[in-house]
Amino acid sequence: MVIGILALQGAFEEHGAMLERLGTEHFEIRQRKDIERPFDGLIIPGGESTVMDKLLRESGLFEPLREKIKAGLPVFGTCAGMILLANKLDGGKPCFKLMDITVKRNAYGRQLGSFFTESEFNGLGLVPMTFIRAPYITSAGPHVQILAEVDGRTVAARQGKILATAFHPELTDNTAVHNYFLQMAKG
């Protein structure tokens, strides 16, 4: 199995380190020629969603990645990645529009509102969660499975082969969420 990690901006190196810990081959996607290489799943990291959207479009990666995801490529979006996958945003223009969720950007406030907690993740038990200027899901369609909540707010969900978390599992030592994505990608 090979996982591509969108590496335009954000926490892509940390996702790579997590995949290395799990013994999974991966590579960084920076330009259109990178997606000519075969890969079995895609990680869209946290970062600044507006900048990432702009860079996706300028690099020519937006449309081909959108088509690959629509065609069934498993994808895991963390924080800004979740924002980019959402159909609707509270306070912003959506990007890929591939997951039937509405997301509130910077829902927990600015950088000073960042925090760490642990919460139940469906099927994985208690998972450590790092939130940095994090969003959360305000509504989800009928085909979206809610995987985790913190203080009554949805922070992880899955729709088919699309997984999204408001938190950064790559910033902890716990490999459970990445392993969940790899098992999902294996189908």
Mean pLDDT by 10 residues, the chain (187 residues): 96 96 98 96 95 96 98 97 96 92 80 81 96 94 98 97 97 97 95
How much is the pLDDT for 173? 95
How much is the pLDDT for 106? 76
Asked about 26 being catalytic, the answer comes back as no
Asked about 95 being catalytic, the answer comes back as no
How much is the pLDDT for 152? 95
Asked about 118 being catalytic, the answer comes back as no
Residue ranges of domains in the chain, CATH in brackets: 2-186 (3.40.50.880)
Q: Which of 14, 26, 95, 168 is catalytic?
A: 168
How much is the pLDDT for 92? 82
How much is the pLDDT for 108? 67
DSSP letters of the chain? Answer: -EEEEE-SSSSHHHHHHHHHHTT-EEEEE-SGGGGGS--SEEEE--S-HHHHHHHHHHTT-HHHHHHHHHTT--EEEETHHHHHHEEEEETS--SS--EEEEEETTTT-SGGG-EEEEEEETTTEEEEEEESS--EEEEE-TTPEEEEEETTEEEEEEETTEEEESS-GGGSS--HHHHHHHHHHH-
Q: Which of 26, 79, 95, 178 is catalytic?
A: 79
